[in-house]
Chains A and B, each alone.
Chain A
């Protein structure tokens, strides 16, 4: 697994999730810290397309060998795309949590929610 990193272009949620904003859409995933804490991720059961997710509420699960963990939505919206490659290769969440390990894309129901998220420096400061 790569070294710890928290890209500057992402928005972060305290429950160790990130969002990459693109207009009124966002790509969601879990942070380097989250995947490192979980250990090897061995199963991702994606939510269904069209499902509504609500900021601060769990919307899916990732599983390591030892345990299952909820993933919290950093923003609210409707799921418009899921990362199909994770069904066969959930380890991408460990290997590349901000790239090939993205989980879902959503259309934002309230883009102003982004203002409540942290930037990389603020999120990193919560990890100590």
Chain B
């Protein structure tokens, strides 16, 4: 509705988005497509066939050098020893007090070379955090955000579409490999943010329009940040700034599975304490919910039994209001009833197991 503000960054695919009829909005300093034909259409295209998202606003940080692994093990919550060459690993970056600075995927491209994909809004802060800790290590931290365009191709037909354009087999889930796609060099990653099969492609920005056009010609539907948000919410994948903030830790967010406190990462003591909380202290946990009736809860809506909604939308797959919320730890069990104050109207909701939507369901 608002005019796109000046001084927003345009990515290498800007002209492609305009040609595809995108509605462009400001997002973390970038002018990005929020939708093309419509959020629901794009959402269902990804669930049923394949969609392509421009996620070139995401940041990339290269960490390399003899002590690159040691540096990253200090910064990232997951156990880096479990990240093989050619692998990908999710983790959070914590402050000393356990508050979450970012959630990231790290690819191990070579023995002593890693690429960490950051959230656009956090990229500069992550970079400063990495660089300040790097002083104690024989490792280099390099900002590569300008060197990469990034496309996410997601949906049941996405692997076949990319495979037809690629010069070799695609990586398995949580693996990464170098290929050419439409004769352009690409780092292909078996990752995504939709709960579907698919890959993410790291490309030279100059090559991105060619690959984008080829993916669309091969059947992928252009999909915007709007559909990306509804898809990730159905899959119960956290969004930094909503579910994840500096004020909450990974245990509250249900991300204990990616925290290996024994490694001694920054914040590991606080995370260890949160994992075994004092029973006398009230704690909250992130729950997924589905509204029992009509209506849509939104971020910031309070919950009568305590807690707050962090994300809410209409699920295009279920045609129901869904979301995630921090609730008192004893109310996180699926089936628990919640009452959400949706701008003055009390709406009943039920805690749902995560993910709310999965292919197998």
Take A65-B40, A65-B226, A65-B230 as given contacts and tell me if A39 and B35 are in contact as well, using a CB distance cutoff of 8 Å.
yes
Task: Give the residues from 39 to 87 in chain A that come closer than 8 angstroms, CB to CB, to chain B.
Answer: 39-40, 42-43, 45, 61, 63-68, 87
Which residue on chain A has the smallest CB distance to residue B314? A42
Distance of A14 from chain B, by nearest CB (Å):
13
Chain A's interface size range is 10 to 19
Determine the chain B residues whose CB is within 8 A of the CB of A63 once the complex forms: 296, 314
Distance of B140 from chain A, by nearest CB (Å):
40
Take A39-B38, A39-B226 as given contacts and tell me if A65 and B314 are in contact as well, using a CB distance cutoff of 8 Å.
yes
Which residue on chain A has the smallest CB distance to residue B34? A66
Distance of A31 from chain B, by nearest CB (Å):
12
Take A37-B1, A66-B34, A66-B39 as given contacts and tell me if A42 and B296 are in contact as well, using a CB distance cutoff of 8 Å.
yes
Q: B294, A40: Cβ atoms under 8 Å?
A: no
Q: B345, A40: Cβ atoms under 8 Å?
A: no
Q: B38, A43: Cβ atoms under 8 Å?
A: no
A38 within 8 A of B: yes
B313 within 8 A of A: yes
- Proximity bits, B4-44, A CB within 8 Å = 1, else 0: 00000000000000000001000000000011001110000
B229 within 8 A of A: yes
Q: How far is the CA of A68 from the CA of B309 in the complex (A)?
A: 15
Q: How far is the CA of A38 from the CA of B314 in the complex (A)?
A: 14
Q: A68, B38: Cβ atoms under 8 Å?
A: no
Q: How far is the CA of A82 from the CA of B343 in the complex (A)?
A: 20
- Proximity bits, B305-321, A CB within 8 Å = 1, else 0: 00000000110100001
Q: How far is the CA of A67 from the CA of B225 in the complex (A)?
A: 13
Determine the chain A residues whose CB is within 8 A of the CB of B313 once the complex forms: 65-66
Prevailing SS type, chain B contact patch: mixed
Q: A68, B295: Cβ atoms under 8 Å?
A: no
Q: How far is the CA of A43 from the CA of B347 in the complex (A)?
A: 14
Chain B's interface size range is 20 to 34
Task: Give the residues from 6 to 57 in chain A that come closer than 8 angstroms, CB to CB, to chain B.
Answer: 37-40, 42-43, 45
Determine the chain B residues whose CB is within 8 A of the CB of A65 once the complex forms: 39-40, 226, 230, 313-314, 316
Q: B314, A68: Cβ atoms under 8 Å?
A: no
Q: B296, A43: Cβ atoms under 8 Å?
A: yes
Which residue on chain A has the smallest CB distance to residue B227? A65
Determine the chain A residues whose CB is within 8 A of the CB of B343 once the complex forms: 61, 68
Which residue on chain B has the smallest CB distance to residue A34? B1
Determine the chain B residues whose CB is within 8 A of the CB of A87 once the complex forms: 294
Q: How far is the CA of A127 from the CA of B34 in the complex (A)?
A: 21
Q: A45, B295: Cβ atoms under 8 Å?
A: yes
Task: Give the residues from 77 to 117 in chain A that come closer than 8 angstroms, CB to CB, to chain B.
Answer: 87
Determine the chain B residues whose CB is within 8 A of the CB of A45 once the complex forms: 294-295, 345
Q: How far is the CA of A108 from the CA of B314 in the complex (A)?
A: 35
Q: How far is the CA of A67 from the CA of B23 in the complex (A)?
A: 15
Determine the chain B residues whose CB is within 8 A of the CB of A37 once the complex forms: 1
Q: A40, B40: Cβ atoms under 8 Å?
A: yes
Determine the chain B residues whose CB is within 8 A of the CB of A68 once the complex forms: 296, 298, 343
Determine the chain B residues whose CB is within 8 A of the CB of A43 once the complex forms: 294-296, 314, 321
Q: A66, B1: Cβ atoms under 8 Å?
A: no
- Proximity bits, B105-147, A CB within 8 Å = 1, else 0: 0000000000000000000000000000000000000000000
Which residue on chain B has the smallest CB distance to residue A94? B38
Q: How far is the CA of A63 from the CA of B345 in the complex (A)?
A: 15
Take A37-B1, A40-B40, A61-B343 as given contacts and tell me if A66 and B226 are in contact as well, using a CB distance cutoff of 8 Å.
yes
Determine the chain B residues whose CB is within 8 A of the CB of A61 once the complex forms: 343
Determine the chain A residues whose CB is within 8 A of the CB of B314 once the complex forms: 42-43, 63, 65
Q: How far is the CA of A19 from the CA of B230 in the complex (A)?
A: 34
Distance of B26 from chain A, by nearest CB (Å):
14
A-B contact pairs, 14 of them (CB 8 A): A37-B1, A39-B23, A40-B38, A40-B39, A42-B40, A43-B296, A45-B294, A45-B295, A63-B296, A63-B314, A65-B40, A65-B314, A68-B296, A68-B298
- Other CB < 8 Å A-B pairs besides A39-B38, A65-B230, A65-B314, 12 of them? A40-B38, A42-B40, A42-B296, A43-B295, A63-B314, A65-B39, A65-B40, A65-B226, A66-B39, A67-B298, A68-B343, A87-B294
